[in-house]
Amino acid sequence: MKKLEDLILTYKDFPKKGIYFKDILGITQEPETFNELIIKMASSEIIKNADAIVAIDARGFIFGSAISLKASKPIIFARKPGKLPGQLIQKKYNLEYGENSLSIQKESLNKFKTFAIVDDLLATGGTVSCVADLLKSQNKKVLGLLVVVELKELGGRLKFKFPVEASLSY
């Protein structure tokens, strides 16, 4: 298996000046490494104990879907504006480079009580906080967060009272 660090590229000043963007998509171009990563993430106690997975738009979908299949867990998607039909729960959040919002189909949560959140990268924690708040607004419980990469210096995990598991930290 190639080292994860070797497959992650850094782009300076993307999407705006002063941001160092960590691109994790190189992992998906190495099937053996991608598979080993998914097996590791899917074996987490957070995943095992959750009723369902919530994957965050868009790169969280890649990892969340693969983990969902490997762990035989249902998956729900937290999407950016205008992407989901039906009755939605929505919330705005701040990014390190702007503002956005996420939506979840309300009815998709009905059968489940506990959730694991999956995303590609944890930076300041704004996106994950948004998803956690959406779940809590529906009296659901977040068991934890799994990410491929955590940017520790930005302190995102400090915002959460639930466990955070990162496969790689910078």
Q: What is the 3-state secondary structure (H, E, C) of 8-52?
A: CEEEECCCCCCCEEEECHHHHHCHHHHHHHHHHHHCCHHHHHCCE
Residue 106: CATH number of its domain: 3.40.50.2020
pLDDT 10s per residue in the chain (170 long)?
569 999 999 999 998 898 899 999 999 999 999 999 999 999 999 999 999 999 999 999 999 999 999 999 999 999 999 999 999 999 999 876 678 999 999 999 999 999 999 999 999 999 999 999 999 999 999 999 999 999 999 999 999 999 999 999 99
Number of folded domains that form the chain: 1
pLDDT of residue 125: 95
What is the domain extent for residue 153?
Answer: 4-169
